Amino acid sequence: MFSRAMPQIQVKCPNCGQPFATSLEQIIDGGRDPQAKSRFLSGRTNVASCPACGVDFRLSTPLLYHDGRKELLITFIPMELGMPRDEQERLIGQMTQAIIQSLPQEERKGYLFVPKNALTLQGMVEMILEGDGITKAMIEARRERLGLVEKFLDSDPETWAALAQAEDANLDEDFFGMLLASADAAMNSGRQDVADQVLHLRDRLLELTTTGKHLVEEAEAQEKVFEEVSEALNELGDSPTREDLAKVIIEQAQISMDRVPMLVSLLRGAMDYQFFLDLGREIESAEGEQKTFLTTLRDNLTTLVQETDRQAHNIAAKAVETLQEIVNSEDLDGAIRANLEGIDDTFLAVLSANLQNAEQQKNSELVQRLQEVFDRVMSIMQESAPPPLRLINELIRVPDVEQARATIKARAPEFGPSLLQLFDVLMTELATQGGPGGSPVMIRLQALREAAAEALGEKSDGGSGTPIIRLGDREIKPPAPKADGDGRGSSESGIVLPFTRNRPKKS
């Protein structure tokens, strides 16, 4: 990963006049730092947040974008800076030299000396996307979908049915994906009212449009399968044998091979070397169609397990890389904030494992540094979490459950029905990551959701009555590495909610 310390500059809030220090990012190496690229493309680069009034504003600064794999070097000098030509060339030369000096000799090629110039920030974004194979036509299609979102939000909800009928052909899965992304972005920036409005629009369009109805039907089918598989596993009790699990896997695969990916996501830990040996013996003793079926099942399981392990390895390697960058940074808070997108459950597990290893090795200097990283990560993640997540985190740690229930009842109206959806996402995420249903965190989440539902005048059923399209759309992913020890970074540590990464694949 390309790592360059971001300078701290002093700025003044344009809203309240409060001066404060913030990081400034001027060089983005998208090829070696995908997180920096993601921040830029999502409009989060150089966005400062006033600690006094909470207003976000963008810092106007020269930028240089580099991607060695695509031989792409782009510069952007904001016109409002009024920078003289010779000063522009001097600054671009300095930033280009920083990139060149970071590259091995064999990667220093001619494109580095003839950078492309973007006249606007949006133009820079489009150049990067075109380098990724996203054509101007695709970008224009995205703009049109965004225009449709704005068209609905600017109109009276009473007219949505007629508008949905007129635009039905344009309201595709990408459109629904944009709705979710817009709601997520609004929530993360503290604009809960906008998030609620977008989610309300999405719920209505799921009912009114051809694509929406299809997505709901598809999700209902997936939810039914998930419930059937879960029920079959729950019937095995608390201590199922390898043979019990193998029997369930075979039975579920006989119903449909489409269930195999879900089985791997839930039971990867049981699919060890001995499991495949036993399955091989069963294949040898089988005949005819059963032999063919079991062979196909073994091949599918092997492929999926290998892919799951590869993904898990890549995720863990990325977490190690991110941790290494943060630990070695002189600006600890700046490095953490720059890598917020990569700080998730896997990162915390890697951090926890390294901390425990340092303790066992009696490396006091490393223990102190890793503990400092852990403390600052938890603090910054809590600060950067959307308001409803911050509230839930705080209430998870309140010793008195009745006090926590009273608080969520009093404040639930601030967030509206989307608060219940948030509870459901969190409980689903905890459950699908292997969190026990009777864990203290899960019990507290259920109690808080019930209280919030009462305050909002909605029926509480522990989450099962909420729109099931979300559960059906959860992304199947390898489980995060589990670290033994005192629970640092685990779901039982208290602050788990900001690290949820539940990215729907559809809608």
Kindly report, residue by residue over 395-431, the tens digit of the pLDDT.
888 888 899 999 999 999 888 887 887 888 778 766 6
> Among 3-7, 316-320, 416-420, 472-476, where is mean pLDDT lowest?
472-476
Tokens 């701290």 found at:
8
Q: What is the Cα–Cα distance from 401 to 448, expressed in whole angstroms?
A: 9
- Write down the pLDDT at residue 467: 28
pLDDT band at 4 (very low <50, low <70, confident <90, very high): low
Strand order in the sheet with 27-29: 27-29, 63-67, 72-76, 116-118
Q: What is the Cα–Cα distance from 301 to 277, expressed in whole angstroms?
A: 13
Q: When comparing pLDDT for 484 and 91, which is higher?
A: 91
Tokens 């970008």 found at:
139
> Among 130-134, 250-254, 499-503, where is mean pLDDT lowest?
499-503
pLDDT band at 448 (very low <50, low <70, confident <90, very high): very high
**pLDDT mean over 99-110:** 89
Q: What is the Cα–Cα distance from 468 to 504, expressed in whole angstroms?
A: 12
Structure tokens at 220: 């209902």
| Residue 338: HSE in the Cβ half-sphere, 13 Å Cα cutoff | 29
For residue 9, the surrounding DSSP H or E stretch is strand 8-12
pLDDT digits (tens, 9 = 90+) for 298-354: 999 999 999 999 988 988 888 898 899 899 888 888 888 878 778 888 888 889 889
Residue 5, SS3 per DSSP: coil
Identify the DSSP state of 434: T
Which amino acid, residue 422? L
pLDDT cut 70: percent of the chain above it: 86
- Write down the pLDDT at residue 495: 36
- Write down the pLDDT at residue 372: 93
pLDDT band at 487 (very low <50, low <70, confident <90, very high): very low
3-state secondary structure string, 90-136? HHHHHHHHHHHHHCCHHHCCHHHHCCEEECCHHHHHHHHHHHCCCCH
- Write down the pLDDT at residue 204: 94
Q: What is the Cα–Cα distance from 322 to 398, expressed in whole angstroms?
A: 32
> Among 11-25, 425-439, 470-484, where is mean pLDDT lowest?
470-484
Structure tokens at 273: 């070397």
pLDDT digits (tens, 9 = 90+) for 275-304: 999 999 999 999 999 999 999 999 999 999
Percent of the chain as helix, strand, coil, to the nearest 5: 65, 5, 30
Structure tokens at 275: 């499991």
Q: What is the Cα–Cα distance from 176 to 228, expressed in whole angstroms?
A: 28
202 exposed, middle or buried (CB, 10 Å; 0-12, 13-18, 19+)?
buried
The CA R_g of the chain, rounded to the nearest whole Å, is: 25
Q: When comparing pLDDT for 156 and 340, which is higher?
A: 156
116-118 and 72-76 strand pairing: parallel
- Write down the pLDDT at residue 431: 65
pLDDT digits (tens, 9 = 90+) for 227-251: 899 899 888 888 888 889 999 999 9
Identify the DSSP state of 167: T
Q: Is the dihedral of CA 23, 26, 27, 30 positive or negative?
A: positive
